[in-house]
Structure 1
Amino acid sequence: MQLLKDKVVFLTGGTEGIGFECAKVFRAAGAQLSIIANCHESIERANEKLNGDDVLYVKADVSKGDEIKNAIEKTVERFGKINVIHNNAGISDPSKPLHETTEEEWGRLFDVNVKGLYNTTRYGINELIKTKGNILSTSSITAEIGQDIHAAYTATKGAINSLTKSMSIDYAHLGIRVNAIAPAGVWTPMLRNWSSQQPDPSSIEKYLDNIHLLGYCPEADVIADACLFLISEQARFITGCIMPVSAGAELGYRTNK
Structure 2
Amino acid sequence: MTEKTLFITGASTGIGAETARAAAARGWRVALMARSADKLDALVEELGADRALAIAGDVTNYDDLTAAVDKTTENFGSIDAVFANAGRGLDAAGIAEGDRDEWRAMMEINVMGVLWTVKATYDALKASKGHLVLTGSVAGNIHLPGSVYGASKWFVHGLGGNLSEEMREWGGRCTVIAPGMVDTPFFETPKPDKLQPRDVAETVVFALEQPKRADVRKLTIMPTG
Match of 2:127 among 130, 149, 171: 130
In the other structure, the counterpart of 1:16 is 13
Q: How big is the shift at 1:85? A: 0.7
Higher relative helix content: 1
Closer, same or farther in 2 for the Cα pair 1:95/1:242, shift >3 Å? farther
1:220 aligns with 2:197: yes
State whether residues 181 and 195 of structure 2, in contact with CA within 8 Å, keep that contact through their aligned partners in structure 1.
yes
Match of 2:174 in 1: 178
Question: Alpha carbon RMSD of aligned pairs, Å?
Answer: 2.0
Identity %: 26
Corresponding residue for 1:154?
A: 150
Residues 37 and 54 in structure 2, CA contact (< 8 A), matched pair in contact too: no
> What is the DSSP-based 3-state SS (H/G/I as helix, E as strand, rest coil) of the residue aligned with 2:158?
helix
Give the TM-score, by structure 1 length. 0.81
Q: Which runs of 5+ in 2 are unaligned?
A: none
Q: Secondary structure at the match of 1:97?
A: coil
Secondary structure of the residue that 1:35 maps to in structure 2? strand
- Listed as ranges, the matches of 1:61-100 within 5 Å are 61-100=58-97
| Superposition deviation, residue 106 in structure 1 | 1.4
| 2:188 paired with 1:188 | no
Please say if residues 17 and 220 of structure 1, whose CA atoms lie closer than 8 Å, have aligned partners that are also in contact: yes
How big is the shift at 1:97?
1.1
Contact 2:181 2:223 in 1 (8 A): no
SS at match of 1:186: coil
Tell me whether 1:59 sits opposite 2:36 in the alignment.
Answer: no
Query: Who wins on radius of gyration, i.e. which is larger?
Result: 1
Query: Distance between the aligned counterparts of 1:147 and 1:235, measured in 2?
Result: 36
Corresponding pairs, count:
225
Displaced runs of 4 or more, over 3 A: 146-149, 233-236
The two structures have a TM-score, normalised by structure 2, of: 0.92
Contact 1:229 1:235 in 2 (8 A): no
Tell me: CA distance 1:39–1:167, structure 2 relative to 1, closer, same or farther (3 Å).
Answer: same
| Matched residue, 1:104 | 101
Contact 1:109–1:152 (CA under 8 A) maintained in structure 2: no
Q: State the alpha-carbon separation in 2 of the partners of residues 44 and 80 from structure 1.
A: 21
Counterpart in the other structure of 1:243 = 219
Between the aligned partners of 1:135 and 1:69, the Cα distance in structure 2 is 16
Deviations 1:127-157 (A, max 9, x none): 11111101001111011124457x1211111
Q: Say if 2:30 and 2:53, in contact at 8 Å, map to a contact too.
A: yes
Find the aligned partners of 1:95 and 1:184 in 2 and give their Cα distance: 19
- Assess if the C-alpha contact under 8 Å between 2:195 and 2:223 holds in 1: no
Distance 1:119 1:166 in 2: 16
What are the superposed Cα offsets for residues 170-223 of structure 1, whole Å, 9 maximum, x if unpaired? Answer: 1211111011101111111223x1x48xxxxxxxx5xxx8xxxxxx41321111
Q: CA separation of 1:148/1:124 partners in 2, compared to 1, >3 Å: closer, same or farther?
A: same
Deviation at 1:104, TM superposition (A): 1.8
Q: Is the 8 A contact 1:16 1:46 kept in 2?
A: no
C-alpha contact (below 8 Å) 1:22/1:224 kept by paired residues? yes
1:52-71 per-position Cα deviation (integer Å, ceiling 9, x unaligned): 21110101100111110110
